[in-house]
Amino acid sequence: MRHTTRHAVAAVTLLVGLFAACAPEQSPPPAAGEQALVNPATEKRIDALLAQMTLEEKVGQLNQYSSPFDMTGPPPSEGAQKTAYDQIRGGLVGSMLNVTGAEATRKAQQLAVENSRLKIPLIFGYDVIHGYKTIFPLPLAEAASWDPAAVERSARIAAIEAAAAGLHWTFGPMVDVSRDARWGRIMEGSGEDPFLGSQMAAARVRGFQGKSLADVDTIAACAKHYAAYGFAEAGRDYNTVDISESTLRNVVLPPFKAAADAGVATFMNSFNEIGGIPATASVHLQREILKGEWGFTGFVVSDWGSIGEMVPHGYAENLAQGAEQAITAGSDMDMESRAYVQHLTELVTSDKVDIKLVDDAVRRVLRVKFALGLFDDPYRYSDAAREQAVTLTPASLAEARDVARRSIVLLKNDGVLPLDKTVRSIAVIGPLADDKDSPLGNWRGQGAANSAVSLLEGVKAAVSPSTRVLYAEGAKLVTGPRDFSSPSVYNTSDRSGFAAAVAAARAADVVLLAIGEDAYQTGEGRSQADLGLKGLQDELLKAVVAANKRVVVVLMNGRPLAIGHVAEAVPALVEAWLLGSQSGHAIADVLFGDYNPSGKLPVSFPRLVGQEPLYYAHKNTGRPGPDSSVTWSHYTDVPNDALYPFGFGLSYTSLACSEPRLSATEIGRDGQLRVSVTVTNAGARAGAEIVQLYVRDLVGSVTRPVKELKGFQRVELAPGQAQEVTFTITASDLAFYTARGQWEAEPGTFTVFVGGNSRDVKEASFTLR
Ligand code: BGC
């Protein structure tokens, strides 16, 4: 009955600004027009250029090559490299990726600008994902800060360094929502939630692109991977995605939309198919939604070879057909498939592809080049002196340390932490304890190998001169090469370091045990079917705990792990992710209480891998239970819920939220509801709480999740202090993609929840008329 009534009531249609009302503090969006790619003067210049271009030159603008060769060495005399050189000279290449450094980019730009007929500059792209040389925490870790302003600063510094090295464009932010910890690329995104993901996406776009792309210290950003790459079946990279339009619109697309609204200049499509159509050939995603509904005026680059991969997908018969499908669907630039450069000219001359599609794609690419100022001075970014001056500065490293400590999440503390700096002796043990490389993580830009501050170094720098610091590796985690493309081989047999580890644990007052994942255990192609600790780490943990009960586990990892047994074995557990260049200092700041942890999980931590995909915003099902029978929606061997839920994180002080107070119990479509809580610090230390607001729409034309994050605010509280926090909810915050295919809020009853994580909340309810 109630359901029918809801359908009968005229829906409240909402267009944009969906997430505005509860947004946390952040810097203002760029002034209108500053980031606009389209302006009449530029469009005129593009018209003039298009009129001069041959078909081959147009296709060339859509062709992107990776640089496998040494730009600063002598020009190659034969083979593929020579072909690439000749094509650049001939104006048949529009962009290159993986050319880095002021000198190399200048040389490559010279090839294009001094030789090609129309002197159109190249645009240089690179994966600047969490820093260029100053490496920041993994994006997943940064999301744990729930601090968009900090994340924006991180992206800003990355852009300053990358731009001075001649780069114009980063393939970031990666905004894929992912709810499956098995997926290796979960480390590159902001976790499981579309709202938090949207805040992070917008913050990173603002950071990379700054106030204006014309500024010489900003770079074009790229929202990737469009779309639903994070929903690969069983968390296996590149695997099939088959999700509903509702999941696509309500869960997957919001961070992309947020990036578009923040003015992101480019999008990258994705390797996966969705419902049988490869994203690269998806008219629905690229033409209808992105360029149609959202009015996106920048360009779409394919993912690496994704046009060619439509052949093994079983969607294109050959590369030529792939090119036809991709350009038709709105994939503007071909990264490394060589499909456009080989086939697009012929496809146009044989009338299989309308020249208008090619013109539109070229126009979009040229817009971004104009916006970057490359037509005014194609060398303006490649500046060796500036590169030297702005890279790895003390200020950037200090910022990296600050963002890193904001990203740390305290998962368990039975009173061991914080440690006293004057402790007599401390043992730092484990395969990651003095690892100067793993904290840099995967997708580390030009971060130098082994350049991170290790935990051991951080601890040594923090403790008093009288403290004895013992160190033992215990066991290696990985044997063999550790790099982007080599598969990881784990040490499962060499226990020769165990005795020293046990001796160190025995001799110390307290133990820090650094375990988790290697730098390259997450990232592209690094999916896992198991979420336990690899190698001999469980054995090492047992041996160390048997020698000394006062063990603090410092977990370093790029994905949620199933660590219930670890939490049970030790009195304290710190989630320290892979935190970048300043990792060891940031962890020490938290361990010794110089920084009171405030990070919160951006993704649920499972009890067992079999719970994946695991996320707090699940649906209720028809049999939510729990009940005494067996026939309700549950596992018979493990609870349904997370070991550590989304939004969870402890503090050294005692923070509590009151019951929520609502300004009304009913609001109209134009009304506002204020939800207030008092947050109290009952402890003896200053601390920060990230107050989270969730909503449940009890009945929908499409069923709604049991909870959805709609806002969060960080409050800093002195000991004994209490502060009121108020969120404002409008109908636009309650909108979703309904059964009518529109963003709209549906009238009815809502529950509102407030708390310090997604599980421990207090609730109230209201009605939307
Ligand atoms: C990845 C992209 C990346 C591109 C260029 C691809 O394999 O999926 O995320 O930007 O390579 O390095």
Helical packing angle, 194-209 and 148-164, nearest 10°: 40
The percent of residues in the chain predicted with pLDDT above 70, rounded, is: 95
The preferred substitution site among 65, 97, 100, 127 for testing ligand 1, maximizing ligand atoms within 8 Å of CB, is 127
Average pLDDT rounded to a whole number, residues 589-610: 98
Ligand 1 closest atom vs CA 125: 5
Helical packing angle, 583-591 and 455-462, nearest 10°: 50
Helix, coil or strand: residue 205: helix
Give 728-745 pLDDT, tens digit per residue: 999 999 999 999 999 999
For residue 72, the model assigns a pLDDT of 75
- CA-nearest residue for atom 11, ligand 1, is 304
What is the pTM (predicted TM-score) of this model?
0.95
* Contact by Cβ (8 Å): 344, 353: yes
Instruction: Give the dihedral of Cα atoms 702, 707, 712, 714; nearest 10 deg.
Output: -170
Residue 131's φ and ψ, nearest 5 degrees, are: 115, 155
The preferred substitution site among 524, 526, 527 for testing ligand 1, maximizing ligand atoms within 8 Å of CB, is 524
Distance 130 CA to ligand 1 centre (A): 14
- Distance in angstroms between the alpha carbons of the first and the last residue of the chain: 17
The first and second tokens of residue 11, run together, are: 């829906």
Distance 77 CA to ligand 1 centre (A): 29
> C-alpha distances in angstroms, 715 versus 196, 392, 591, 653, 712?
17, 31, 21, 13, 10
Average pLDDT rounded to a whole number, residues 424-450: 98
22, pLDDT greater than 90: no
> C-alpha distances in angstroms, 418 versus 413, 425, 515, 757?
9, 15, 19, 22
CA-wise closest residue to 655 among 762, 726, 761, 756? 756
Ligand 1 contact via 224 beta carbon (within 6 Å)? yes
* Contact by Cβ (8 Å): 746, 708: no
For residue 388, the model assigns a pLDDT of 97
Q: Which residues, in sequence order, are CB contacts of 200 under 8 Å at separation 6+?
A: 139, 142, 143, 148, 151, 173, 175, 190, 255
Alpha-carbon distance of 715 to 657, in angstroms, equals 11
Write b or e for each residue in 130-149: b if 16 or more Cβ atoms lie within 10 A of its Cβ, otherwise e.
bbbbbbbbbbbbbbbbbbbb
8, pLDDT greater than 60: no
Ligand 1 closest atom vs CA 225: 9
- CA-nearest residue for atom 6, ligand 1, is 304
For residue 389, the model assigns a pLDDT of 98
Distance 304 CA to ligand 1 centre (A): 6
* Contact by Cβ (8 Å): 166, 124: yes
Ligand 1 closest atom vs CA 98: 12
Alpha-carbon distance of 206 to 228, in angstroms, equals 23
Cα 331 → chain centroid: 22
Distance 98 CA to ligand 1 centre (A): 11
Helix, coil or strand: residue 88: helix
- CA-nearest residue for atom 8, ligand 1, is 303
The first and second tokens of residue 467, run together, are: 């403290």
Ligand 1 closest atom vs CA 271: 8
Distance 335 CA to ligand 1 centre (A): 9
Residues in the chain: 769
Ligand 1 closest atom vs CA 172: 10
Q: How confident is the model at residue 68 (pLDDT cuts 50, 70, 90)?
A: low
Distance 752 CA to ligand 1 centre (A): 40
Higher model confidence: residue 82 or residue 250? 250
For residue 83, the model assigns a pLDDT of 87
Give 93-124 pLDDT, tens digit per residue: 999 999 999 999 999 999 999 999 999 999 99
* Candidate list 180, 193, 303, 518, residue with the active-site label: 303
- CA-nearest residue for atom 2, ligand 1, is 303
Cα 451 → chain centroid: 23
Alpha-carbon distance of 21 to 195, in angstroms, equals 12
Distance 371 CA to ligand 1 centre (A): 24
Give 174-227 pLDDT, tens digit per residue: 999 999 999 999 999 999 999 999 999 999 999 999 999 999 999 999 999 999
The sheet with strand 666-667 has its strands ordered as 666-667, 761-768, 748-755, 687-697, 708-717
Ligand 1 contact via 303 beta carbon (within 6 Å)? yes
- CA-nearest residue for atom 5, ligand 1, is 304
Ligand 1 closest atom vs CA 270: 8
Ligand 1 contact via 171 beta carbon (within 6 Å)? yes
The first and second tokens of residue 137, run together, are: 């925490």
437 carries an active-site annotation: no
- CA-nearest residue for atom 10, ligand 1, is 171
> In a 10 Å sphere around its CB, with 0-12 CB exposed, 13-18 middle and 19+ buried, how is residue 288 labelled?
middle
90, pLDDT greater than 80: yes
Q: What is the mean pLDDT of the chain?
A: 95
Ligand 1 contact via 304 beta carbon (within 6 Å)? yes
Distance 570 CA to ligand 1 centre (A): 39
Ligand 1 closest atom vs CA 224: 9
Element (H, E) at 516: strand 510-516
Distance 303 CA to ligand 1 centre (A): 6
- CA-nearest residue for atom 7, ligand 1, is 304
Q: How confident is the model at residue 428 (pLDDT cuts 50, 70, 90)?
A: very high
Average pLDDT rounded to a whole number, residues 562-570: 98
Distance 442 CA to ligand 1 centre (A): 12
* Contact by Cβ (8 Å): 531, 489: no
Ligand 1 contact via 176 beta carbon (within 6 Å)? no
67, pLDDT greater than 90: no
Ligand 1 closest atom vs CA 174: 9
Could you write out the DSSP letters of every residue in 736-768?
EE-TTSSEEEPPEEEEEEEESSSSSEEEEEEEE
For residue 30, the model assigns a pLDDT of 42
Ligand 1 closest atom vs CA 222: 10
- CA-nearest residue for atom 12, ligand 1, is 127
Distance 480 CA to ligand 1 centre (A): 24
Alpha-carbon distance of 69 to 75, in angstroms, equals 9
The preferred substitution site among 65, 280, 303 for testing ligand 1, maximizing ligand atoms within 8 Å of CB, is 303
Instruction: Give the dihedral of Cα atoms 480, 483, 486, 490; nearest 10 deg.
Output: 40
Helix, coil or strand: residue 37: coil
Ligand 1 contact via 192 beta carbon (within 6 Å)? no
Helical packing angle, 355-371 and 319-329, nearest 10°: 70
4, pLDDT greater than 80: no
Alpha-carbon distance of 501 to 472, in angstroms, equals 5
Bridge partners (DSSP) of residue 126 are 170
- CA-nearest residue for atom 4, ligand 1, is 304
596, pLDDT greater than 90: yes
* Contact by Cβ (8 Å): 490, 503: no
Average pLDDT rounded to a whole number, residues 469-478: 98
423, pLDDT greater than 90: yes
For residue 10, the model assigns a pLDDT of 35
CA-wise closest residue to 239 among 194, 182, 177? 182
Q: How confident is the model at residue 492 (pLDDT cuts 50, 70, 90)?
A: very high
